Structure 1
Amino acid sequence: MRIAFYAPLKSPNHPVASGDRQMARALIKALEHGGHDVELASEFRVYLREPESKSFDALEIEAREEAARLTRLWDRDGKPDLWFSYHLYYKAPDLIGPELASTFALPYVTAEASHSSRRNAGLWADAQALVAGAVEQAALNICFTQRDRHGLADAVPDAAFGMLSPFIDTSAFRETPARGCPTRLVTVAMMRPGDKVESYRMLAQALGSIGHLPWTMSVVGDGPACDEVRAQFAGLPANRIEWLGAIEPAAVPDVLYSGGIYVWPGFGEAYGVAYLEAQAAGLPVVAQDIAGVPEVVRDGQTGFLTPPGDVAAFTAAIERLLTRNDERTLMAAEARRFILEERSLRAAAAHLAELLAKIP
């Protein structure tokens, strides 16, 4: 099929690296691996940072112009066979796909759409109504987590759903890694206000309780809250923490390979691409049993998931892996097997092909 791919929140060509951009690129690769011809339909960005009518009105005007452009293009060169929209939610509804799909009689598909009744207020309620309308129209809504599926089903009970487990392109992790330092902790996360800062704060609190153990840590990440994040770790010995800042995605595997344990609390994580990469590199994970994290980490097998907000439990899990190297080694091997065999691009492409084949 000729598939028009669109990601309203962030184009796969966006210059800033993130899990959204990475998953958009992985989905395109998976679709192409399944034999489809994928074209990026538009780079028009829809992002409502705040629920402001003026901003939304401006986006709607741009959306009409972009839809008109695609209409002219398709009238001239022929329409695609399917519209595929990635990551719709209350801050990033699809303002062009549903109308174009209806006009050109195209099957409309969403992936990783979400709906939260907590956001049904003011302008964001209007934006969520657009998401719900798109989900209802869709021939298929591909959910990455049960949490998202339940949220969508509550809002649009009669919608068509399918499940696709979060995955990554594992090609960068195929070679057997050199043995990293078992007491080297690794974190890869952006530094921005809200859940990210909260996760860094919890991590700093945990590390402050295990100063008697011989750990060191590499931190990959940067952002507007960088100073606030570093301030959380000010009470820890400076020589224990290596601040690497933002690095190219291609350099991340080497950082992961150098470590022994991946640590990140995970407040607000949809699921967390970084958890998948860490396990692919052979690092067991310590995180919280929160949000979508359980969809990508197998508690007791590829890492430990601790109760939300329980700093003591989170700390104890890190200490356990630091002091029980045999257990850490077994978890490391299972983590790597789990990702390479079950959460690879190849596995995702095969399942995605099965899902799309069922669309009338």
Structure 2
Amino acid sequence: MKIAFTAPMKPLDDPVPSGDRTMGRLIVQALELGGHEVRVASRFRTWVKEGGDAAILTRETEGLSEADRITREWEAEGYRPDVFLTYHLYHKAPDWIGPALADRFNLPYAIIEASRAPKRQTGPWALGFRAADDALARADVVGALHHADAECLGAVLQRDRLKILLPFLDTLPFETAADLVIKHHKAPKLLAAGMMREGDKTRSYEVLADALSRCMDLDWSLTVIGDGPNRAYVESLFPPERTSFLGALPPEQMPQHYAAHDLFVWPAIREAFGFVFLEAQASGLGVVAGSTFGVPDIVQDGKTGLLAPEGDAEAFAAHLRALIPDPARIEQLGEEAARHIRFRHTLEMGCARLNAFLETALDNRWQRSTAPRRPHQSSGQPL
């Protein structure tokens, strides 16, 4: 298929690394692996930090102007995709471009990763919430990356238009790095990774520091990967004699650092699912994590890791205290983690799930249209 793609939350070439950017790039990679032709229709970012009607209306005007530009471009080239695909929208990052182009060119419209918070129906985010809901209403299929999002979306989407599309990753770099390392650590080497910015990320570091402070009688060391405006504060939370801070690292260096450690630890406050948990498990690390939103969808509690209630430092510490003195259990979790990723979250599995997802978009669009039959996916004919 010819797929027009946009990511209103964060463009694929955004200079700031994040799990969101990584997941967007992996979606394109998996689609191309499946033989699809992916074209980034726009890198326009609709995300706004602060709400309010004026800011959101400005973004809407800019977004619709961008849709006009793309329309002229496509018409001049004679280009018509088979599907318009949007990755990640919500009240802070609605999609005006995808629905506009889908209507103008009579295209199936698909969304991967949408979240919906009914409390935002009123207040400064009301217009953004309404715009995101309008996009959901136009969508022929929506893929939720975890069950928590699917439950919220179920209020406005019929079952045939809502699918669970579990996240995935390219496991090869992580498996290769893990194969090159032989671990003989007297004390478990713990690893955490996250941006050091205000809000939920800093709160995750606070919970982790609190939990580790309850384990000072045990033998362990911690490596932290990440940087940001709160770095000095975050560093002050941890015992310097046991903690190494490596700063922000490029993605290509991450596999070797996962592989050099024994256990990944991250409270994941308010995180959608935590892409780092996929990477850690692919590297053969068990995890101790907060049971937040989609984390239980990718970490098997008691099998590939141990999950604590979100923000509960005492419960998090209890899991650490159970594992740190038990290297055999840590090794067992890591082996199960690698196996779990290999059987559920590889790039190839993502490719297969995306193929089925796009076929659903075409089928649903045809069923909602007046056409006598669904055209061939690459016909280029109106649906």
1:188 maps to 193
Counterparts of 1:61 and 1:123, CA distance in 2: 18
Do the aligned residues in 1 keep the contact of 2:207 with 2:313 (CA within 8 Å)? yes
1:126 maps to 127
Q: Which amino acid aligns with 2:45?
A: R
Counterparts of 2:24 and 2:126, CA distance in 1: 25
2:377 maps to none
Task: For residues 25-46 of structure 1, give each alpha carbon's deviation from its aligned partner in whole angstroms, at most 9, with x where no partner exists.
Answer: 0000111111110011111011
Counterparts of 1:68 and 1:203, CA distance in 2: 48
Identity among equivalent positions (%) equals 39
| CA 1:16–1:213: 2 relative to 1, 3 Å | same
Cα offset for 1:95?
1.8
What are the equivalent positions in structure 2 for 1:107-146 lying under 5 Å apart? Answer: 107-146=108-147
Do the aligned residues in 1 keep the contact of 2:188 with 2:324 (CA within 8 Å)? yes
| CA 1:177–1:148: 2 relative to 1, 3 Å | farther
Task: For residues 212-231 of structure 1, give each alpha carbon's deviation from its aligned partner in whole angstroms, at most 9, with x where no partner exists.
Answer: 22211110011122223223
Do the aligned residues in 1 keep the contact of 2:268 with 2:310 (CA within 8 Å)? no
Cα offset for 1:355?
2.0
| Structure 1: gaps of 5 or more residues | none
Counterparts of 1:156 and 1:228, CA distance in 2: 43
Q: Secondary structure at the match of 1:269?
A: coil
Is it true that 1:222 corresponds to 2:227 in the alignment? Answer: yes
Q: Which amino acid aligns with 1:50?
A: E
Do the aligned residues in 2 keep the contact of 1:83 with 1:97 (CA within 8 Å)? yes
Q: Secondary structure at the match of 1:84?
A: strand
Task: For residues 106-128 of structure 1, give each alpha carbon's deviation from its aligned partner in whole angstroms, at most 9, with x where no partner exists.
Answer: 10000001101122222412211
2:271 maps to 269
Q: Which amino acid aligns with 1:179?
A: I
What are the equivalent positions in structure 2 for 1:71-82 lying under 5 Å apart? Answer: 71-77=71-77, 78-82=79-83
Do the aligned residues in 1 keep the contact of 2:85 with 2:110 (CA within 8 Å)? yes
Where do 4+ consecutive residues of structure 1 move more than 4 Å? Answer: none
2:164 maps to 163
Cα offset for 1:159?
6.8
2:2 maps to 2
Counterparts of 2:153 and 2:38, CA distance in 1: 26
The correspondence for 1:208, drawn from 204, 213, 220, is 213
Q: Which amino acid aligns with 1:102?
A: D
Cα offset for 1:55?
2.1
Counterparts of 1:352 and 1:186, CA distance in 2: 32
Which stretch of structure 1 is more off in the superposition, 54-63 or 346-355? 54-63
What are the equivalent positions in structure 2 for 1:95-110 lying under 5 Å apart? Answer: 95-110=96-111
| CA 1:205–1:271: 2 relative to 1, 3 Å | same
Do the aligned residues in 1 keep the contact of 2:270 with 2:292 (CA within 8 Å)? yes
Cα offset for 1:157?
4.6
Q: Which amino acid aligns with 1:256?
A: Y
Counterparts of 2:118 and 2:208, CA distance in 1: 30
2:93 maps to 92
Do the aligned residues in 2 keep the contact of 1:94 with 1:134 (CA within 8 Å)? yes
1:70 maps to 70
Do the aligned residues in 1 keep the contact of 2:273 with 2:298 (CA within 8 Å)? yes
2:290 maps to 288
Do the aligned residues in 2 keep the contact of 1:261 with 1:321 (CA within 8 Å)? no
Q: Which amino acid aligns with 1:32?
A: E
1:245 maps to 247
Q: Secondary structure at the match of 1:323?
A: coil
Cα offset for 1:64?
2.4
2:381 maps to none
Counterparts of 2:96 and 2:323, CA distance in 1: 47
Counterparts of 1:226 and 1:277, CA distance in 2: 23
Do the aligned residues in 1 keep the contact of 2:56 with 2:127 (CA within 8 Å)? no
Counterparts of 2:293 and 2:200, CA distance in 1: 11
Which stretch of structure 1 is more off in the superposition, 311-320 or 239-248? 311-320
Do the aligned residues in 2 keep the contact of 1:135 with 1:159 (CA within 8 Å)? no
2:182 maps to 179
Counterparts of 1:3 and 1:317, CA distance in 2: 45
Is it true that 1:26 corresponds to 2:26 in the alignment? Answer: yes
1:58 maps to 58
The correspondence for 1:231, drawn from 232, 236, 244, is 236
Counterparts of 1:68 and 1:158, CA distance in 2: 32
Do the aligned residues in 1 keep the contact of 2:200 with 2:269 (CA within 8 Å)? yes
Cα offset for 1:206?
1.0
**For this pair of structures, how many residues does the alignment match?**
357
2:16 maps to 16
Q: Which amino acid aligns with 1:350?
A: A
TM-score using structure 2 length: 0.90
Do the aligned residues in 2 keep the contact of 1:289 with 1:306 (CA within 8 Å)? yes
Do the aligned residues in 1 keep the contact of 2:272 with 2:292 (CA within 8 Å)? no
Cα offset for 1:197?
1.0
Do the aligned residues in 1 keep the contact of 2:207 with 2:312 (CA within 8 Å)? no
TM-score using structure 1 length: 0.96
Do the aligned residues in 2 keep the contact of 1:284 with 1:335 (CA within 8 Å)? yes
